[in-house]
Chain A
Amino acid sequence: VPDDVSEWGRFSDPSLLILASLAAGPKHGYAMVEDIAAMAGVRLGPGTLYGALARLEQRGLIEPLPPEERRHPYRITGAGRAMLREQLRGMKYFASEGLARLATND
């Protein structure tokens, strides 16, 4: 798996959404789906959710916790926090730069 989440193709955005959801605390799969829908207005399908979860786990950005009955919660790791922070900083810079350019030409 490439180091950079942005190189994960169609799993890039879902992976960032999952990291952002887990930044607030551990969650199991469907709780992440609900949280992401409330936070970003995006409802991840089960195939997309587990494609992203597997990549994040393999890269060490999230880790599974002991199962609670049939549900398996995950939590974000230190590497995951660092990756999320780096990606969000890039987005913040992009957003502020884009808004500044819009303001200049309005």
Chain B
Amino acid sequence: MTERTTAWLLRLYPAAWRERYEEEFRAVLDEYSSGPLIVLDTMRGALDARLHLATLLGRSWSVNSRIRPSLLAVFTAWIAFVIVGLWLNGQVDDSVYGHAMRSGGALHVAYVVLEGGSALSLIAATIGGLPVVWQIWRRSPELRWLLMVPVVCFAAIAAPLGLLVIITANHLVPPNPGPATDGGHWVRDYLVAVFLLGAVASVLAVTRAVLRGHASDRALGLARWAGWALTASMAVMLAATVVWGLLAGNLGANAFHAPGLTNQGSPNVVSWLVVVAVMAVGTVVAALSLWRGGDGSRATPALA
């Protein structure tokens, strides 16, 4: 291989890689006869070096140590998003806006976009999270109990809910029991408390497992891309919620501007602003965390 070709091919590699391997790599290249396949293979090697420089030079842990907290910040922001989203959903059901939303129009479209964003975020969280969780489950058996915490929390909510459905389906209670009784409030308060405690416990447990468990670069890389998709869907939901609130304010001005945290269970300007504020903070935190967590190339300075 000519000196000129060798020099050109070496310039394709990152500076940090050349610092470590240039001399011996140049000696090896001199032994090869020049040909398109050799040039192509060397170019593929340069691309690999640029994509995986940190791994090749033994800095994978420093990269992982930045990606993991950023992914966990996205996960935490998303859980907060889910909580306020469900709160808003609970208020909208049977609210004064129900008729306007069922009859179509802009209010309906905004809410459909919000629901579509939540579905996309769930898909992104599943695609990004499951491979990481599976690898930790497989490779770090001592951390499995932490991964079981969300399952137990879900069961603590699903079991009484399922029991209620069974009781209602078998007409063990009247279909129209009238105004909520103290017992009804107790069940609702229990579910809300368990849901909030379960969300916090799940986030803490998953955080601990992901920080201490063993997950491959590939799984973490996939989770990072899924994290960006999740953040994008959060931004869509935020925009839809803002639009929904503005439209709802115009539609039912008096009801929307009623005092209190909510208007007798229906959304008002205060509850809407709380939801928007949490969603906005969550979206910004998720985006900043992913951006600061960066990828392998950003974690290593000498890429020129």
Residues on A facing B (Cβ under 8 Å): 1-2, 7, 28-30, 33, 45-51, 54-55, 58, 67, 70-72
Contact = CB atoms under 8 A, between A and B. Distances in A.
Interface of A is mostly: helix
Nearest to A54: B56
B24 A67 contact: yes
Contact of A47 (B43, B57, B218): B43
Interface of B is mostly: helix
Contacts, number: 78
A23 B39 CA distance: 29
What size tier do the contact residues of chain B reach?
A: 20 to 34
Give the residue among A2, A49, A55, A71 with the most B Cβ atoms within 10 A: A2
A44 B44 CA distance: 13
Closest 5 CB pairs of A and B: A47-B45, A45-B41, A72-B24, A70-B27, A29-B28
A47 B216 contact: no
A72 B94 CA distance: 75
A51 B56 contact: yes
13 contacts: A28-B28, A30-B27, A30-B31, A46-B42, A47-B43, A47-B44, A48-B45, A51-B45, A54-B57, A55-B55, A70-B24, A71-B27, A72-B24
B49 interface: yes
A58 B217 contact: no
Contacts of B55: 1, 55, 58
B28 A30 contact: yes
Contact of A70 (B23, B58, B217): B23
B29 A46 contact: yes
B44 A2 contact: no
Nearest to B24: A72
